[in-house]
Amino acid sequence: MPAYDRDAALEAAVRLFWSKGYHATSLKDLEAALNMRPGSIYAAFKSKQALFLAAMERYFEKMQAGFRAHMEGVDVPLAGLTSFLRAYAEDAPGARVHACLLLKTLLEATATDSEISGPARDYLNRMKAEFEAGFNAAKEAGDLPHTADAARLARRYQAALTALQIELQRGLSGAELTAFVDDLIEPFEQLAREDAS
């Protein structure tokens, strides 16, 4: 058995890297956040980069699992997609802790950071594929017209989620947040209404 809690260490690393970014996070920061000595950190994760990649993978897996669990719990796929955005907004405190780690990584990465920017881009693409599957399910269920472009809708949906994350980070709340989420989901609901008419 390892002398550390890997899950707890990765969760702490996600929060730290989200807060400070990859480059600004020092070994001292990692020591304090993970409550581990430098030798233990390197023994467990090999390098700062390897730890960051493991933390980013953990973040993606939690986001993917959360979305899948939400969609499995609904009877109407399109309603599941729109209610996921509402639920994300309602979980604002948790959302603020982890918002946009993948996107922040892409924005921070330099031309020589392909080792971290490549996986971040891949995870974003994989989340888009999850959203696309949701829209394809909505088409199959008759919630959307069969001519609807699921890939295009998934990209728009991912952009909506990113916009929501940004506004949560800026502190949008209350009635303004509710209205903002309404505006984000309106195009998808409008498409469904047009198909029903």
CB contact set of 141 (below 8 Å; sequence gap of 6+): 76, 77, 78
Q: Is residue 124 part of a domain?
A: yes
Evaluate whether residue 44 is within a structural domain: no
Our measurement of the distance from residue 139's CA atom to the centroid of its chain's CA atoms, rounded to an integer in Å, reads: 24
Look up residue 113 and give its two tokens: 């950071």
Residue type, 162: T
pTM: 0.88
Q: What is the pLDDT of residue 97?
A: 47
State the pLDDT at residue 193: 72
- Tally the domains of the chain: 1
What count of residues does the chain have?
197
Residue 31 lies in a domain: no
Q: What is the pLDDT of residue 94?
A: 53
Task: Give Cα separations from 183 to 101, 158, 161, 180 (angstroms).
Answer: 24, 14, 12, 5
Whether 35 is in a domain gets the answer no
Q: Are 125 and 103 in contact (CB under 8 A)?
A: no
Residue 32 placed within a domain: no
Name every residue whose Cβ is closer than 8 Å to that of residue 116 and which is 6 or more positions away in sequence. Answer: 22, 49, 52, 53, 56, 105, 109
What is d(CA 50, CA 78) in angstroms, rounded to the nearest whole number? Answer: 38
Helix or strand run (H / E) with residue 91: none
Domain that holds residue 98: 55-196
Q: In this predicted structure, what is the pLDDT of residue 32?
A: 94
189: nearest Cα among 133, 143, 146: 143
CATH code, domain carrying 188? 1.10.357.10
Do the domain assignments include residue 21?
A: no
In a domain, 111, yes or no: yes
Per-residue confidence in pLDDT tens, the chain, 197 aa: 355 689 999 999 999 999 899 999 999 999 999 999 989 999 999 999 999 999 999 999 999 999 999 999 999 999 999 999 999 988 765 544 445 789 889 888 876 789 999 999 999 999 999 999 999 999 999 999 989 999 999 999 999 999 998 898 888 889 999 999 999 999 998 887 776 65
Residue type, 75: D
pLDDT of residue 196: 62
* 132 Cα distance to chain centroid: 15
Crossing angle of helices 27-34/48-72, nearest 10°?
50
Kindly state whether residue 166 falls inside one of the protein's structural domains.
Answer: yes
Give dist(CA 95, CA 91) in Å, integer. 6
